[in-house]
Amino acid sequence: MIKSKRLVAGALAAVLALATAACGGDDTADAPAEEPAAEEPAAEEPAAEAMSLGVAFDTGGRGDGTFNDAAGRGADQAEAELGFTVAELEATTADDRGPNLEALSGAGNDLIVAVGFAFGDALGAIAEANPETFYGWIDGYFDGPNIITTAFAEHEGSFLVGAAAALKSESGHIGFIGGQEIDLIKKFEAGYIAGAKAVNADIVVESQYLGAAGDNAAWGSPDKAKEIALAWYADGADVVYTAAGGSGRGTIEAAVEAGEGKWAIGVDSDEYFVDTAEQQAHRLTSMLKRVDTAVFEMAKNVKEGTAAGGFYPFNLANDGVGYATSGGHIDDIVDQLEDFKAQIISGAIEVPTSPDGL
């Protein structure tokens, strides 16, 4: 079933004020003073039609606390600051992705953003059939004149939270939980392990995935993530990073249950702001993947007429990825993390994109 929401900005109406001029004569003239010619009313300019943005969310949609929510914030910003109307459709199953893109295209949106790599099977043909519409694709690439594709250096941001995990770990034992076992999520794992080992070469890093490629349940299985994290915490791990969409809510629950000194690291969005107060005490940091920035910038370029198809990277150098400091739990190590960040940007540290060989 497709869930949708349509937000329509109200049209602005112009209000005209007509002024009347008083007239008068001198004391010696019997004839009335000549009245000034009536002013022509100013022509009313038609209100500019708002541009429209369609957002095709992947499974999980708004409310996942991570990836989809980040895209939603970018759409909200485009609505508030650029005057876009926004239409949203959520893929509740894999079969919804193509029809949702078709529906948003048929509605005449100026820009349609496909949120996630899994839209690739449908996006190319739909974009080719609608050359006057711009399409933004998060985490994919298709070479088309009206397709704006974005790629994020998740491994770079993950390196920094891996370093944070190692700096904060008292046991020298941490973990990584991934969603689908695919190259994209392996970038998160690789960066996390590399960052942790840059701090402590002997650190033990557990890794486990929640599903194989194509298993959409991997993004919405907090019970499985919680079970894995609880087992690791019981075995001595004290920090667990989860890159698995909504499944990560299980990891923070596990950290709370495991007690003092157990930490969870969030992903994509700053998950501190969707945590309860009790959970916030265990949220070490989050790896920020600024999908909101990408969505807003695409909308801005479309409105200004400067949009062009192509490949646009988001990395540490342009603040496309990063880490959160909410809660103050890593305030004492920020200087060290910033030093690692500078080394990555300069090229002194090259972050791997695959865990193979680490």
Other CB atoms within a 10 A radius of the CB of residue 162 amount to 33
Half-sphere exposure of 217 (CA within 13 A, CB side): 6
CA angle, corner 23, sides to 17 and 29, nearest 5? Answer: 170
CA R_g for the chain? 27
pLDDT at 13: 31
The SS3 assignment for 60 reads coil
Q: What is the mean pLDDT of residues 198-203?
A: 98
Q: Bigger pLDDT: 35 or 278?
A: 278
265 near 160, Cβ under 8 Å? Answer: no
Q: What is the mean pLDDT of residues 237-243?
A: 98
Provide, rounded to the nearest whole percent, the portion of the chain with pLDDT above 70: 86
pLDDT at 39: 53
Report the distance separating Cα 137 and Cα 119, nearest Å: 8
Q: What residue segments make up the domains of the chain, in order of their start?
A: 3-7+50-152+293-304+306-314, 154-289+328-346
Does the pLDDT value for residue 218 go beyond 80?
A: yes
CA–CA distances in Å: residue 125 to residues 3, 88, 172: 23, 21, 49
pLDDT at 231: 98
- Beta-bridge mates of residue 333: none
DSSP structure string for 211-261: E-TT-GGGGG-HHHHHHHHHHHHHTT--EEEEESGGGHHHHHHHHHHH-TT
DSSP structure string for 77-133: HHHHHH--EEEEEE-SSGGGHHHHHHHHHHTT-SEEEEESGGGHHHHHHHHHH-TTS
- Beta-bridge mates of residue 263: 239
Does the pLDDT value for residue 87 go beyond 80?
A: yes
Q: What is the mean pLDDT of residues 330-334?
A: 98
Q: Bigger pLDDT: 312 or 15?
A: 312
Residue 128 pLDDT class (50, 70, 90 cuts): very high
Q: What is the mean pLDDT of residues 173-184?
A: 97
CA angle, corner 329, sides to 154 and 259, nearest 5? Answer: 100
Of 36-45, 77-86, 119-128, 230-239, the one with minimum mean pLDDT is 36-45
Q: What are the tokens at 15? A: 């209000």
Starting at the edge strand found earlier in the chain, the sheet holding 283-289 runs 204-211, 173-180, 239-243, 263-268, 283-289, 321-323
pLDDT at 65: 86
pLDDT at 30: 41
The CATH T-level fold of domain 3-7+50-152+293-304+306-314 is Rossmann fold (3.40.50)
pLDDT at 23: 33
Query: Under 8 Å CB-to-CB from 55, ≥6 apart: which residues?
Result: 71, 72, 75, 86, 87, 88, 89, 104, 112, 113, 115, 295
DSSP 141: -
Of 44-58, 219-233, 339-353, the one with minimum mean pLDDT is 44-58
Tell whether domain 154-289+328-346 is in CATH 3.40.50.2300: yes
155 near 190, Cβ under 8 Å? Answer: yes
pLDDT at 230: 98
Q: What are the tokens at 53? A: 């943005």
- Mean pLDDT of all residues belonging to the chain: 88
CA angle, corner 90, sides to 272 and 93, nearest 5? Answer: 105
Phi and psi at residue 51, to the nearest 5°:
-80, 160
pLDDT at 41: 52
138 near 71, Cβ under 8 Å? Answer: yes
Instruction: Say yes or no: do domains 3-7+50-152+293-304+306-314 and 154-289+328-346 share a fold.
Output: yes
User: What type of residue sits at position 3?
Assistant: K
DSSP 59: T
